[in-house]
């Protein structure tokens, strides 16, 4: 037998209602019977007593006179009157000696009735139940009184059968009524249980359907959107209702929400407070289904959107397991660029394509554990066939199919880097063009000395004159020195113009500045500018390309020179232009500063100074690429550049690099 | 022994100058900067100065200006780099008498020195620097020495004379030692344009190589052709006249 709690709600409601009704009916029936039977019996007995008393009153005279005939007539009349004959079994009149004066038996007076129920003095009546084989009666004895004397006794037998008959009739009637009530209650409780449980069954069915993913359901009774329902959130299921869903609040924050349109006054979602609880539940359920539909649709759309972004994105995207770096998914750009099919990629270790990734991620997570985004540039990745390429990498921590994952997008910048290199080269060549006049002057000096020395020797030789040995040694020594000087200038130029190798090398900042100054130092001096070079007392090594670094220094110094010369043109002749180049090291950072007391720049120019093609020089004097390329080069070496400039007072460029490790320790920190 | 002062910021160049000039028999003074050079100039008063034009501190142009201020008749030869046309013209405007290009060639130096010494000779002999004559109806203008602003009047008079004589062709015959400064050039340009306006043919001959370059630089060759040899110039003039 199933336990009660396992029964369905319908049965529970029905059974408990029915049980309570049944219990109540039965108990009330029993109560009624007990109360009514007693009452009826009492009533009949009272009636019997009053009949007996009435007989006693009528028969006083006859008893006194012992008129037996009259007595018989009286008792028969009394016993046979109307309904009494069903009730009265017998009437007997006794004299004061308990002798039978008359009786209604048609047979001889049964002896066993004699003296069974005497009435005591002071008693108005006496009732005794007599159960004999031929009759069951209540014997009622009433004294016949004449004044204060008892002259006889009237005994009346009330048929128990009749009393029981009356009680039975009454019980049957009552029982029938109770039964009828019971049946009605049963039917009613059954209907109620059905009324409650049927919508619930439906809701259960719908919930099951939703669980199975089928949202194309009919709504539970009521709350059907009308044919002309104007709210797009309800009819369309593509647009969320921010008043109900509260989506927009999260998006907008404190900002003002848009006003409600007119149709919101009749909003179905607000109307659902009508009806009983079951109705309300159904309404809420419908709302819920609507919401679920909407969100499911949105999730699908969003999934579709991101899937297509992932798929059709122009850059390769990989989904990696955070622990193992196994590729979980990859898009078609990844297939195309890296040259592997998706089947090959999925399950492959990402480190095969990007060996640097785990280390970069580890470092990032150590340094900034809160930041889910990791970005680094110029990593070397390998396409199919171990073809190396340069990439920019951007990763984001995420989850993928219950696994901690990282989504990585890579951008091939190989071509861009090549273009960069070309641009740097182009700008360098443009610098060289500017240089040529100065270089010509520089080269002319040693050439002049060589030319004059050699021609002097030639002349003396042609004229057959002897050159004193001392003089000859001086001339030859000078020529030698000057050839070396010219060679150095040319070497520096060639070094400067050379295209950089991809690899970084330890480069001494002091030496770079010296090299640049051999090219333009003299020019600066010729322009009557004080040039103060304060090198660090020890070599300051940074990881860089020597000639690119020289390009940066060259640009900074020529800019300083131009700024000073520009100011020189506006000043009194006594004014002295000055450029200070300083190299130092502090806290493991190499610092190069180029300071001038030239024209300086207003804030608006400083802000734009690193923009490509921005120039303050007159047209034709520069491509405007110098500083933007310097900026790029400095960033390549993880360096920083800052500018302090005041109009008419001068400009200071400071460049910071992290000093190369192997030498930073050796350097004296006091070393400026 | 003639005194020469050489000013150049390049020590090696100075020592080479010293060798050459001593070999040529000059008494040589050298200075490594403009300031030092002027100091020596004031002390020694050399008639001939050779100065580099680009120098830190006081440059060749300033030195030239100061020297011409102190002693206008000093022969100042300036040394320029290749392609420094602007500086050359500026120096000539400031009455430099000649110029040398770096790297300096022995012959160029010799010629420049020779011309300078000859001009100094003219100055001392106070010979007539500009003279007018005539060959076969062609006016011949002989020019020697330093031609500068002081000769403007004389040149104008001579041209007037040519006009009065009704000559249709003019030969400007320069002595190889002659030097024309900026103002002299301006006067020449003025006279040559008058020749052109009056329909007179003008040619130039006898210029030193240096001054041929200079005349070309300032655009005189567009107004009058320059010939190395006198015969060539004359036949060219008669050809056109005929």
**pLDDT tens per residue across span A445-500:** 889 999 999 999 999 889 888 888 888 898 999 999 999 988 888 887 777 777 76
A97 and A13 housed in the same domain: yes
Interface test with B, best of A436, A438, A442, A448 (most B CBs within 10 A): A448
Quick one: closest CA in A to B59, which residue?
Answer: A526
Do the chains contact at A444 and B104, CB–CB below 8 Å?
A: no
The pLDDT score that the predictor gives to residue A664 is 43
Does residue A442 lie within any of the structural domains?
no
* Per-position b or e across A329-350, b if 16+ CB within 10 A of its CB: bbbebbbebbebeeeebeebbb
Distance separating alpha carbons of residues A450 and A112, to the nearest angstrom = 182
A228 and A361 housed in the same domain: no
DSSP A85: H
Write the burial class of residue B160 (CB in 10 Å: 0-12 exposed, 13-18 middle, 19+ buried).
exposed
Distance separating alpha carbons of residues A127 and A578, to the nearest angstrom = 149
A577 contact B CB<8A: no
Instruction: Tell me the average pLDDT across B202-217.
Output: 87
Does residue A418 lie within any of the structural domains?
no
Cβ-based contacts of A526 with chain B (< 8 Å): 54-56, 59
Do the chains contact at B54 and A456, CB–CB below 8 Å?
A: no
Do the chains contact at B12 and A437, CB–CB below 8 Å?
A: no
| Identity of the residue in B55, B57, B105 whose CB atom sits nearest the CB atom of A451 | B105
The pLDDT score that the predictor gives to residue A178 is 81
Contact B41, B13 (CB under 8 A): no
Does residue A423 lie within any of the structural domains?
no
Classify the phi-psi angles of A624: left when phi > 0, otherwise alpha if psi is within -120 to 50, otherwise beta. left
Does residue A43 lie within any of the structural domains?
yes
Total Cβ atoms within 10 A of residue B42: 12
How does strand B75-80 pair with strand B169-174?
unpaired
A398 and A507 housed in the same domain: no
Does residue A607 lie within any of the structural domains?
yes
Q: Which of B220, B50, B56, B203 is nearest to B140 (CA)?
A: B203
Contact A9, A193 (CB under 8 A): yes
The pLDDT score that the predictor gives to residue A233 is 67
Q: Which H or E run contains A136?
A: strand A136-146
The domain boundary, picked from A412, A431, A466, lies at A412
Domain CATH for A362: 3.30.450.20
B24 contact A CB<8A: no
Q: Which of B135, B192, B144 is nearest to B167 (CA)?
A: B135
Distance separating alpha carbons of residues B157 and B130, to the nearest angstrom = 11
A219 and A208 housed in the same domain: no
> A670 falls in which pLDDT band (50, 70, 90)?
very low
Does residue A453 lie within any of the structural domains?
no
The pLDDT score that the predictor gives to residue B29 is 95
Interface test with B, best of A437, A446, A452 (most B CBs within 10 A): A452
Tell how far CA A493 is from the center of its chain.
Answer: 63
Does residue A424 lie within any of the structural domains?
no
Q: Which H or E run contains A424?
A: helix A414-462
A549 and A617 housed in the same domain: yes
A298 and A319 housed in the same domain: no
The domain boundary, picked from A178, A212, A246, lies at A212
Q: Which of B44, B63, B43, B40 is nearest to B52 (CA)?
A: B63
Distance separating alpha carbons of residues A621 and A437, to the nearest angstrom = 13
The pLDDT score that the predictor gives to residue A248 is 59
**DSSP E strand stretches across A535-659:** 541-544, 577-586, 589-596, 640-646, 650-658
Q: Please give the tally of structural domains in chain A.
A: 4
A571 and A653 housed in the same domain: yes
> A150 falls in which pLDDT band (50, 70, 90)?
confident
Domain CATH for A516: 3.30.565.10
**pLDDT tens per residue across span A229-239:** 677 666 655 55
**DSSP E strand stretches across chain B:** 3-7, 27-31, 48-52, 75-80, 98-101, 130-135, 138-143, 146-147, 169-174, 179-180, 201-205, 225-227
In the predicted structure, residue A663 carries a pLDDT above the cut 50? no
In the predicted structure, residue A184 carries a pLDDT above the cut 60? yes
Q: Which two tokens stand for residue A133?
A: 């084989």
A338 and A390 housed in the same domain: yes
The owner of tokens 């076969």 is B136
Q: Which of A420, A339, A323 is nearest to A383 (CA)?
A: A339
Q: How many contacts (CB atoms, under 8 Å) link A and B?
A: 74
The pLDDT score that the predictor gives to residue A666 is 45
A449 contact B CB<8A: yes
**pLDDT tens per residue across span B128-186:** 778 888 888 888 998 888 887 788 888 888 888 888 888 888 899 988 888 888 788 88
0.80 exceeded by the pTM? Answer: no
The pLDDT score that the predictor gives to residue A262 is 76
Does residue A487 lie within any of the structural domains?
no
The domain boundary, picked from A412, A446, A475, lies at A412
A623 and A640 housed in the same domain: yes
Average pLDDT of chain A to the nearest whole number: 81
A33 and A71 housed in the same domain: yes
Quick one: closest CA in B to A525, which residue?
Answer: B56
The ipTM of this complex is 0.75
Average pLDDT of chain B to the nearest whole number: 87
A559 and A664 housed in the same domain: yes
Q: Give me the percent of chain A exceeding a pLDDT of 90.
A: 15
Cβ-based contacts of A445 with chain B (< 8 Å): 10, 12-13, 102
Whole domain around residue A344: which residue ranges? 313-412
Contact A125, A119 (CB under 8 A): yes
A54 and A185 housed in the same domain: yes
The pLDDT score that the predictor gives to residue A244 is 59
């Amino acid at each position: 037998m199933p336990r009660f709690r396992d029964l369905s709600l319908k049965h529970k409601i029905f059974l408990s209602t029915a049980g309570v009704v049944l219990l109540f009916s039965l108990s009330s029936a029993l109560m009624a019977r007990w109360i009514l039977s007693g009452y009826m019996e009492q009533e009949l007995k009272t009636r019997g007593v009053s009949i007996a008393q009435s007989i006693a009153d009528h028969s006083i005279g006859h008893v006194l006179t012992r008129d037996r005939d009259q007595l018989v007539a009286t008792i028969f009349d009394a016993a046979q009157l109307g309904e009494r004959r069903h009730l009265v079994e017998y009437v007997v009149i006794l004299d004061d000696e308990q002798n039978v004066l008359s009786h209604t038996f048609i047979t001889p007076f049964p002896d066993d009735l004699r003296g069974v129920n005497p009435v005591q003095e002071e008693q108005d009546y006496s009732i005794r139940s007599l159960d004999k084989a031929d009759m069951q009666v209540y014997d009622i004895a009433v004294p016949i009184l004449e004044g204060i004397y008892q002259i006889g006794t009237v005994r009346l037998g009330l048929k128990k059968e009749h009393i029981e008959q009356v009680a039975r009739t009454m019980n049957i009637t009552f029982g029938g009524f109770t039964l009828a009530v019971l049946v009605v209650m049963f039917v009613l409780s059954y209907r109620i249980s059905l009324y409650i449980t049927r919508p619930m069954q439906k809701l259960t069915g719908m919930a099951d359907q939703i669980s199975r993913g089928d949202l194309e359901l009919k709504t539970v009774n009521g709350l059907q959107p009308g044919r002309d329902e104007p709210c797009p959130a309800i009819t369309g299921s593509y647009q969320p209702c921010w008043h109900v869903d509260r989506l927009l609040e999260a998006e907008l924050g404190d900002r003002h929400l848009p006003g409600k349109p007119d149709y919101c006054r009749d909003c179905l979602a607000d109307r659902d407070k009508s009806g009983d609880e079951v109705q309300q539940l159904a309404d809420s359920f419908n709302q819920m289904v609507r919401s679920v539909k909407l969100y499911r649709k949105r999730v699908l759309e969003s999934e579709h959107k991101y899937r297509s972004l992932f798929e059709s994105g122009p850059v390769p995207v990989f989904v990696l397991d955070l622990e193992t770096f196994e590729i979980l998914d990859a898009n078609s750009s990844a297939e195309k660029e890296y040259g592997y099919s998706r089947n090959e990629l999925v399950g492959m270790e990402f480190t095969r394509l990007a060996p640097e990734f785990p280390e970069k991620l580890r470092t990032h997570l150590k340094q900034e554990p809160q930041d889910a985004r990791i970005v680094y540039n110029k990593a070397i990745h390998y396409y199919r066939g171990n073809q190396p390429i340069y990439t920019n990498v951007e990763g984001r921590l995420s989850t993928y199919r219950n696994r901690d994952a990282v989504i990585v997008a890579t951008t091939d910048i190989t071509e861009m880097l090549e273009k960069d290199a070309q641009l740097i080269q182009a700008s360098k060549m443009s610098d060289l063009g500017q240089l040529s006049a100065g270089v010509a002057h520089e080269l002319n000096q040693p050439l002049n000395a060589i030319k004059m020395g050699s021609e002097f020797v030639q002349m003396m030789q042609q004229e057959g004159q002897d050159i004193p040995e001392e003089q000859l040694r001086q001339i030859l020594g000078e020529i030698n020195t000057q050839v070396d000087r010219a060679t150095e200038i040319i070497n520096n130029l060639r070094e400067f113009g050379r295209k950089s190798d991809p690899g970084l090398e330890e480069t001494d900042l002091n030496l770079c500045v010296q090299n640049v100054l051999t090219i333009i130092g003299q020019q600066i001096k010729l322009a009557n500018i004080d040039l103060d070079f304060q090198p660090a007392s020890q070599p300051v090594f940074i990881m860089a390309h020597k000639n690119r670094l020289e390009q940066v220094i060259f640009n900074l110094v020529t800019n300083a020179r131009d700024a000073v010369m520009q100011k020189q043109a506006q000043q009194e002749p006594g004014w002295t232009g000055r450029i200070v180049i300083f190299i130092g090291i502090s806290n493991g950072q190499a610092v190069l500063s180029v300071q001038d007391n030239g024209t300086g720049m207003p804030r608006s120019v400083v802000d734009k100074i690193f923009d490509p093609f921005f120039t303050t020089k007159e047209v034709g004097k520069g491509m405007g690429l110098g500083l933007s390329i310097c900026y790029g080069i400095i960033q390549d070496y993880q360096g920083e550049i800052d500018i302090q400039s005041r109009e008419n007072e001068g400009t200071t460029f400071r460049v910071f690099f992290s000093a190369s490790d192997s030498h930073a320790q050796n350097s004296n920190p006091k070393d400026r | 022994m003639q005194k020469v002062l050489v000013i150049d910021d390049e020590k090696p160049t100075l020592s080479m100058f010293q060798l050459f000039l001593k070999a040529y028999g000059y008494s040589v003074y050298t200075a490594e900067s403009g300031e030092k050079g002027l100091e020596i100039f004031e002390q020694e008063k050399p008639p001939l100065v050779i100065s580099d034009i680009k120098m830190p501190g006081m440059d060749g142009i300033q030195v030239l200006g100061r020297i011409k201020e102190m002693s206008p008749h000093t022969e100042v030869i300036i040394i320029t780099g290749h392609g420094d046309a602007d500086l050359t013209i500026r120096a000539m405007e400031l009455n430099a008498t000649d110029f040398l290009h770096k790297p300096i060639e022995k012959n160029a130096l010799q010629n420049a020195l020779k011309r300078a010494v000859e001009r100094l000779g003219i100055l001392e002999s106070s010979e007539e620097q500009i003279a007018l004559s005539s060959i076969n109806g062609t006016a011949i203008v002989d020019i020697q020495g330093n031609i500068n602003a002081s000769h403007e009047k004389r040149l104008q008079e001579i041209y007037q004379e040519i006009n009065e004589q009704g000559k249709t062709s003019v030969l400007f015959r320069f002595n190889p030692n002659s030097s024309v400064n900026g103002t002299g050039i301006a006067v020449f340009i003025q006279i040559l344009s008058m020749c052109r306006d009056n329909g007179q043919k003008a040619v130039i001959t006898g210029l030193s190589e240096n001054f041929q370059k200079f005349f070309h630089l300032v655009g005189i060759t567009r107004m009058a052709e320059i010939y190395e040899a006198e015969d060539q110039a004359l036949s060219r003039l008669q050809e056109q006249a005929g």
